[in-house]
Structure 1
Amino acid sequence: MSNNSNNGSNSTLLVQMTKEELIRDFEQVVRKVVNQMQVEQQALKNEKLTYTRDETAEILNVSLTTLHNWNKQGVFKPSAKVGKKVYYSKNDIQAKLKIN
């Protein structure tokens, strides 16, 4: 009785390669994985949780005056204030975008 199966589920493919070829292929795979990890890490760093008045006005496509008026009217308020600077949360901005 033979253990060889032609259905593909237990097929084994043997490839001959030199040690140098194996190392080269392995290094290429590792390089790709590291590059992908770096791209993902950079994307996480670039993802902000708060935005300045200028950034928020640009994202919402409104003037700073409109943003100021919304704040005074209680329509759209900043989520944080540090000294004289105000910051809007990413979630608040996204919610405002959905409303408009």
Structure 2
Amino acid sequence: MSKIEISLPDYFNSLPEDIRSLKEKIQNIEKNLQPKEPSVYLSRNEVAEMLSVDLSTIHNWTKKGILTAFQIGGRIFYKRSNIEAAIQKLEK
């Protein structure tokens, strides 16, 4: 049997490394990509019930900027994610 040698352009030599690099980048994107959850809005009463506090406490926390309120028409709502983010871990 005779041996046939094929000479490829230089850019083909780096192809396996390029593919490996692309795989790593895709895996990193997949790992960090979080599907976007739709925003859940809660009424003042729902927030008060969720946190086991009075409506006046929700009002005071909103005035102090602890909670962020959103309004549509005459109704006030709070994003559930903002409420959860406002809860802080106590450091010992």
TM-score by length of 1: 0.46
More helix by proportion, 1 or 2?
A: 1
